Structure 1
Amino acid sequence: MLKFTTNLILLFISVTAFAQDSLSVETAAIDTVQVQQASKDSTVYKQRYGLRVGIDLSKPLRSFLEEDYQGLELLADFRISHNVYIAGALGNEEKTTQEDNYNFTTSGSYLKVGLDWNTYENWYGMENIINLGFRVGASTFSQTLNAYQIYNTNQYWNEIQSGIMGEDMLGEYSGLNALWAEIVLGMKVELFRNVFMGASVRLNYLVNNTQAGNFPNLFIPGFNKVTDGSKFGVGYNYSISYLIPIFKGNKPQKLPSNNQQEQED
């Protein structure tokens, strides 16, 4: 009886060990299949990091259409992470403005530097951008007062001239500067390989500016028109740019499933 019991125990131990080995083999096989399936469902896409340079198309177009305006703006951005870009602009503007009592010419250069955050999650292989950004802008410029008219409140007998022309204030006022902040909402779409078309709107807030005596800054290069009694301004641009790839970074991108591919086909 003892021998039979001993043999039964040994048989039970052998069967248990064999079952455990079989279960381990099946588990390993399942893990291998899951890894292979995950490899099929996703891939590592080499995303491009580099310098994108371009030009604001709205300013040359405006220069062509308006006789009293000349402007040029160069744009650039550099990708520092998956969704973050360092962005900037360098430009020059000259504009002659006719107000009720003033005719003046503003000429100067400006620089804008800031960050863009791409809020758009691209499909596999795409590099389009819908960005929310922030800029700090600075401008140095001069104002040339071409003519001004001092308003005459004495309108007795409907005088022909409502004011007198002054000459003591005429001339150029140089060494002016301004500082402002911008919130930018824009987009860039890749039309061809490395070629992007973009557009943006901007809300500006004037932080500080120097004025020439009693003559206010009614136009600031890079900031746009200055509204009396308000520090806010608006702007826009249309751009075309070219990406110069420098290096590539890895990021797993989920490929479309078989069902999605069948639907697309």
Structure 2
Amino acid sequence: MKILSFTFFLCLLATISLGQERDLKKKPERTDKFIHMDGLRVGLDLSRSLQHLWNKGNRYGTELSFDMELTPNLYPVIETGWERLSINHDYLEYTSSGSYTRFGFDYNLLVAEHKKDMDIVYVGLRYGFNFANQQVKKYMIANYWGDITGRLGRQNYNAQWAEFVLGIKGEIFTNFFMGWSIRGKLKMDQKDFDMPHVYFNPGYGPAEKEFNFDISYSIYYNLPFNFRGSKKE
């Protein structure tokens, strides 16, 4: 009986000790709302040069982004870029290109456990607009009496849209980040022509669609200047 009692006592002691150890490992819930990213984060969207892999036509471009944590978990964002689409067939040679800009903000959903934690999972909103042009360098229409060929001059146009964004930005090295985002784009306004209709909107995608999906994959660098004048712990 003494051996059984002693064994029971050791098991009880081990259980209590394990519970205390687990309690010590629990991280306290964050109660403050500190800003944990100082400086300006600059990003380069790597996926803009690879769009031909999942989009129609020879579509490519470049895009830069700028964001900073202005208030706890709130990141104003500016994204600006340039895109070009070309379609070359026996019956059509079409090109469209232009610049675009988006303004908006991201809100971080991830709770930071330390002031050095700069990883974020975010949702965001954007307002986007572009200035673009298109040109049909050659077209051919098959006809019983003979093929009809011709070309159309350059046409300038613009568009406006709203974006809903879900994404991640994770720090892989000090001040270096990688991240991806999924975007839903809702067209708000579009200048169009009777001949030909606008086919492509830089920054938005196919012009005939009222709603577009897009993905992006970017690298970032945080320019670490403390413009608030406070010291990080």
TM range (shorter): 0.7 to 0.9
Partner in structure 2 of residue 257 of structure 1: none
- With over 3 angstroms needed to count, the CA separation of the structure-2 counterparts of 1:245 and 1:83, relative to structure 1, is same
TM superposition shift of 1:99: 7.7
Q: TM-score, normalised by structure 2?
A: 0.74
* Counterparts of 1:102 and 1:222, CA distance in 2: 23
* Counterparts of 1:83 and 1:224, CA distance in 2: 30
Partner in structure 1 of residue 148 of structure 2: 165
Partner in structure 1 of residue 46 of structure 2: 57
Q: TM-score, normalised by structure 1?
A: 0.66
CA contact (8 A) 1:176 1:210 kept: yes
Match of 1:216 among 186, 192, 197: 197
TM superposition shift of 1:234: 1.4
- With over 3 angstroms needed to count, the CA separation of the structure-2 counterparts of 1:191 and 1:210, relative to structure 1, is same
CA contact (8 A) 2:109 2:121 kept: yes
Q: Does 1:181 align with 2:153?
A: no
* Counterparts of 2:50 and 2:82, CA distance in 1: 14
Q: Does 1:73 align with 2:63?
A: yes
Partner in structure 1 of residue 74 of structure 2: 84
Partner of 1:211, secondary structure, is: coil
Ranges in structure 1 where 5+ consecutive residues have no aligned partner: 1-40, 153-158, 253-265
Pairwise CA RMSD of aligned residues? 3.2
Please list the CA deviations of residues 112-136 of structure 1 after superposition, one character each: whole Å capped at 9, or x if unmatched. 1101000111232311111100000
Higher Cα Rg, which structure? 1
Match of 1:138 among 129, 136, 142: 129
TM superposition shift of 1:79: 1.0
CA contact (8 A) 1:50 1:246 kept: yes
* Counterparts of 2:149 and 2:131, CA distance in 1: 27
TM superposition shift of 1:147: 2.6
Match of 1:200 among 181, 188, 191: 181
Partner in structure 2 of residue 106 of structure 1: 96
Partner in structure 2 of residue 155 of structure 1: none
Tell me the percent identity.
32
Q: Does 1:238 align with 2:217?
A: yes
Partner of 1:120, secondary structure, is: coil
Partner of 1:48, secondary structure, is: coil
Please list the CA deviations of residues 161-206 of structure 1 after superposition, one character each: whole Å capped at 9, or x if unmatched. 9x83331x52211x21110110011110000000000100110011
Match of 1:48 among 37, 44, 47: 37
